[in-house]
Amino acid sequence: MEDRLDRQLRFIIEIDKVKAVLRRTRLFDNSRHENDAEHSWHLAVMALTLREYADGQIDIARVIEMVLVHDIVEADAGDTFLYDETANEAKEEIERQAAERIFGLLPADQKAWFASLWEEFEARLTAEARFAAALDRLEPMMQNALTAGYAWKRHNVRRGQVVGKNRPIVEAGSIALWRFAEGLLDRAVESGHLEE
């Protein structure tokens, strides 16, 4: 019992590092960069709020579990910018090693459960994982749209890149949310916040 609790508490302390992982996007009010913990919390609330737009039947509890767990690996791996092709080449292996180490802090049964959630999110084979991934891609697009294209401009991201990286993921989880995102991108181009 003591060993189990000790391992669980070490894991909880370790994942506190996620709060220090800054993302490229800024909060909706443009006051500062978002951190990974805030991102995961926001996705959980988005899942509860937007679940009616998921394509197909979903277990909302499973979606929330995935969005809360999916970026824990970034405590070791850091946040890889979606549009950085070079960094994305090594991302999968770096994050897999991080998952092994961080989830390995837990007792075996919980390690397997957390790892299965993370792997399900990454594989996007279930309706829940596809919806979770759609939300994960939608939030930064919304952030950029509401911050005058902050990260898009800073990294010279063009509309075609945003569509190419996000459409397949968002559309697979929610056609309705992709339609909303397309409108967001159109308005961002019209306002000069995103280059065509």
Asked if residue 29 is part of any domain, the answer here is: yes
Q: What is the mean pLDDT of residues 120-133?
A: 98
Q: What is the mean pLDDT of residues 112-120?
A: 98
Asked if residue 195 is part of any domain, the answer here is: no
Q: What is the pLDDT of residue 25?
A: 96
Closest CA to 78 of 119, 15, 36: 36
Asked if residue 26 is part of any domain, the answer here is: yes
* Residues 6+ positions from 188 with CB-CB distance below 8 Å: 144, 145, 149, 152, 159, 194
**For 178, phi and psi rounded to 5 degrees?**
-65, -40
- Please give the mean pLDDT across all residues of the chain: 96
Q: What is the pLDDT of residue 109?
A: 98
40 neighbors 121 (Cβ within 8 angstroms): no
Number of domains making up the chain: 1
Q: What is the pLDDT of residue 64?
A: 98
Question: What is the identity of the amino acid at 66?
Answer: M
Q: What is the pLDDT of residue 101?
A: 98
Question: What is the identity of the amino acid at 32?
Answer: R
Planar angle of CA 13, 101, 122, nearest 5 degrees? 100
> Mind listing the pLDDT tens digit for each residue in 129-174?
999 999 999 999 999 999 999 999 999 999 999 999 999 999 999 9
Asked if residue 156 is part of any domain, the answer here is: yes
Which residues is 26 bridged to in the sheet? 33
Higher pLDDT pick, 46 / 89: 46
pTM of the model as a whole: 0.95
User: What is d(CA 98, CA 31) in angstroms, rounded to the nearest whole number?
Assistant: 30
Of the chain, the end-to-end C-alpha distance in Å amounts to 58
149 neighbors 195 (Cβ within 8 angstroms): no
User: What is d(CA 19, CA 75) in angstroms, rounded to the nearest whole number?
Assistant: 8
Asked if residue 56 is part of any domain, the answer here is: yes
How many percent of the chain have pLDDT more than 70? Answer: 99
User: What is d(CA 67, CA 46) in angstroms, rounded to the nearest whole number?
Assistant: 10
User: What is d(CA 58, CA 67) in angstroms, rounded to the nearest whole number?
Assistant: 14
Q: What is the pLDDT of residue 67?
A: 98
Asked if residue 149 is part of any domain, the answer here is: yes
Where in the sequence is the domain holding 17, given as residue range(s)? 2-190
Asked if residue 148 is part of any domain, the answer here is: yes
The enclosing domain of 152 has a CATH number of 1.10.3210.10
Asked if residue 196 is part of any domain, the answer here is: no
